[in-house]
Amino acid sequence: MATNDEIEQDLAAEKAAILIESLSWLKQYSGKIVVVKFGGNAMINEDLKRAFAEDMVYLRYAGLHPVVVHGGGPQISAALEESGIESEFRGGYRVTSTEAISVVRRVLADEVNREIVELMNAHADAGHPVLAAGVFGDGKSLFSGERKGVVVDGERFDLGHVGDITHVDPSSALNVIARGLIPVVSSIASENSDPSQALNVNADAAAGALAIALQATKLVVLTDVPGLYSDWPNRDSLVDLITVDELTALLPSLESGMIPKMTACLDAVVGGVGGATIIDGRIPHAILLEVFTQRGAGTEVIPNSKRKSQ
């Protein structure tokens, strides 16, 4: 039977092995930008929110430059209901009236964004009094876009203040990074034809577009599933790695909820991002598992050339 000293030595050896395993990843990502889309259950579970904030702070102290992009669907729905504004969805998109967009902006900037920033800044100290800062998509035209409609059962619907991103000016996020801080970005865009008007944009798409503009080394998208299944609901069909061509062929057959996430990953890799991964945000510290271990987590989208070189 092992003694207490032997048990402690074994535990110490395991911890050392984990740290050494992260060495190659630290060398690969140190000084590089990693964009993380924060969403799903991780946004509404208090423990997961705290764990996510710890992960981002850890990445920053480890020498990476994490950039967080968030939406806020559940919080927006609650705020609209409280304001007496009915939430209506068409083709998977929230119909956003002029009255509703003001609520959306307030929730994203004053509630969701502020909370994420505060959770990260809770780890500040005298040497680093501030660790994160909010960046708002429509504030300095970080994101700009055009309104979109949707066709459902052959009928076209006006979605109001809902749009697609057509341009990204990453300077405001880069300025925050240059200050040594973590940018926390809200998924709101300015309308091209009238910059005073805000557009509600998909947070997955915003994260992918920003990753391209920042020339990020990696995009990580938090989801509420373990990864991409090639034959859902067959749970044995979980995919570890998928190339651009393989994903392009698979995309039309995916569940509707996975399409925007996988499209964001696909667009990011095609746009020059080194890799894009969707991971299960319900697992505490899943991001650290993905970035720093050989095993990784979730499903990674890679350029076609990487598959050929393996």
42 phi, psi to nearest 5 deg = -60, -20
| Entry pTM | 0.91
First-to-last alpha carbon distance for the chain, in angstroms, is 44
List CB contacts of 26: < 8 A, sequence separation 6 or more. Answer: 62, 63, 292
Average pLDDT rounded to a whole number, residues 123-131:
90
**Nearest one of 69, 12, 26, 16 to 288, comparing CA atoms:** 26
Mean pLDDT, the chain, integer: 89
pLDDT at 92: 79
| 43-99 residue pLDDT tens | 889 999 999 999 999 999 999 999 999 999 889 999 999 999 988 888 778 899 999
Whether the per-residue pLDDT at 198 is higher than 80: the answer is yes
State how far the Cα of 96 lies from the Cα of 86, in Å rounded to an integer: 10
| 3-33 residue pLDDT tens | 777 677 777 777 777 777 778 888 888 999 9
| 128-154 residue pLDDT tens | 899 999 998 766 679 999 999 888 788
**Which amino acid, 228?**
L
Whether the per-residue pLDDT at 276 is higher than 70: the answer is yes
pLDDT at 152: 78
State how far the Cα of 63 lies from the Cα of 130, in Å rounded to an integer: 16
State how far the Cα of 244 lies from the Cα of 36, in Å rounded to an integer: 20
Burial class (CB in 10 A: 0-12, 13-18, 19+), 259: middle
Q: What is the DSSP pairing of strand 188-191 with strand 194-200?
A: antiparallel
39 forms beta bridges with none
pLDDT at 295: 58
Cβ proximity of 163 and 143 under 8 Å: no
Residue whose entry in the numeric block shows the structure tokens 């967009």: 101
State how far the Cα of 267 lies from the Cα of 271, in Å rounded to an integer: 6
Cβ proximity of 34 and 216 under 8 Å: yes
pLDDT at 201: 94
State how far the Cα of 55 lies from the Cα of 289, in Å rounded to an integer: 10
pLDDT at 305: 80
pLDDT at 4: 72
Cβ proximity of 182 and 133 under 8 Å: yes
> pLDDT category, 212, cuts 50, 70, 90?
very high
DSSP 8-state code for residue 198: E
